[in-house]
Amino acid sequence: MRNILFSLLLLASDTSHAEVQNLSSSLVHEDAEEGLRLAFESSVQLVSISEKGAAFGSGNLFIYNGEQYIITANHVVAGSLFLDILEKDGNVASGIVFLTNPELDLAIIKPVTRLTGTTAVDFEFANDNKLGKEVYHCGHPIGVSFNLSKGMITTYEPTGYIINSLSLPGTSGSVVFDKYGKVVGVIVSVAGFGEPPNTQLIEGIVKVIPIDLKYVIDSM
């Protein structure tokens, strides 16, 4: 079952790592903001298998002190028995849940083997997040290889921010960057009404929770 899921989701490719990196860079417009470029080049799709079934989400790859980490939302990997990371070049790598914060719905994953088809971004935390600030993220909605989105901070919540970008199912866990490539936070939910499975999403009301990878790792 697990292999069937991956066969359906993988982007078939036999290109080399260098070709993948060159292709990734060429896909982003030369005038695009740095944050948009980093959001795209660092994004991965996540597939978590638990006793409840398969959960699909997104995350972004960072490097700190020479180690690779993926930041995502906790609900994407909660109860994970098997966790796989799907890169845009078709590579599949296993991951382990390294740290979680269920209350804030945040999680950090470590790839079991080093990812080579995704850009690992140096982590920089944005601490000037004010209303009207432009933000970017790249998610992996179900049925779509990837989707870039742009928005801005529209209001505050007790634990984070609301942004007005488009976020579809499967985008949970996407890291939100500002235009300079600094991290604003992680997408953890989209507003909706009605009961599952008939919940209707409300576009443009996306909850983002801040996370500082350096602080978390250094506090361990």
| Same domain flag for 6 and 100 | yes
Query: Based on the structure, what is the number of domains in the chain?
Result: 2
Question: Range of 91's domain?
Answer: 2-121
3-class DSSP state of 63: strand
| Same domain flag for 130 and 116 | no
**Residue 18 pLDDT class (50, 70, 90 cuts):** very low
What would the pLDDT profile of 59-118 be if each residue is shown by its tens digit? 999 999 999 999 999 999 999 999 999 999 899 999 999 999 999 999 999 999 999 999
| Same domain flag for 115 and 33 | yes
- DSSP label of 10: -
| Same domain flag for 111 and 9 | yes
Q: What is the CATH number of the domain that holds 6?
A: 2.40.10.10
- Of the chain, the percentage scoring pLDDT greater than 90 comes to 72
Average pLDDT of the chain, as a whole number: 86
| Same domain flag for 111 and 187 | no
* Boundary residue ending a domain (94, 121, 148): 121
| Same domain flag for 80 and 93 | yes
What would the pLDDT profile of 43-62 be if each residue is shown by its tens digit? 999 999 999 999 999 999 99
**Residue 22 pLDDT class (50, 70, 90 cuts):** low
| Same domain flag for 18 and 108 | yes
Give the pLDDT confidence score for residue 107 in this predicted structure: 98
User: What does residue 143 show for φ and ψ, rounded to 5 degrees?
Assistant: 95, -5
| Same domain flag for 9 and 109 | yes
Indicate the pTM of the whole model. Answer: 0.86
User: Is the separation of the CB atoms in 138 and 148 below 8 Å?
Assistant: yes
Q: Is the pLDDT of residue 198 over 70?
A: no
- Using CA atoms, how far residue 182 sits from 112, 134, 191, in Å, is 26, 12, 25
| Same domain flag for 78 and 94 | yes
Give the pLDDT confidence score for residue 125 in this predicted structure: 97
Q: Is the pLDDT of residue 194 over 70?
A: no
* Boundary residue ending a domain (102, 121, 140): 121
- Using CA atoms, how far residue 137 sits from 115, 143, 186, 189, 199, in Å, is 20, 18, 9, 14, 23
For residue 197, say if its preceding peptide bond is cis, omega within 30 degrees of 0: yes
**Residue 148 pLDDT class (50, 70, 90 cuts):** very high
Give the pLDDT confidence score for residue 11 in this predicted structure: 34
User: Higher model confidence: residue 156 or residue 5?
Assistant: 156
| Same domain flag for 142 and 156 | yes
Q: Residue 114 and residue 44: Cα distance in Å, rounded?
A: 13
* Boundary residue ending a domain (121, 155, 170): 121
| Same domain flag for 141 and 162 | yes
| Same domain flag for 12 and 111 | yes
Q: Residue 187 and residue 209: Cα distance in Å, rounded?
A: 7
Q: Is the pLDDT of residue 159 over 60?
A: yes
User: Is the separation of the CB atoms in 190 and 167 below 8 Å?
Assistant: yes
Give the pLDDT confidence score for residue 195 in this predicted structure: 53
**Residue 210 pLDDT class (50, 70, 90 cuts):** very high
Q: Is the pLDDT of residue 12 over 50?
A: no
- Average pLDDT rounded to a whole number, residues 148-154: 96
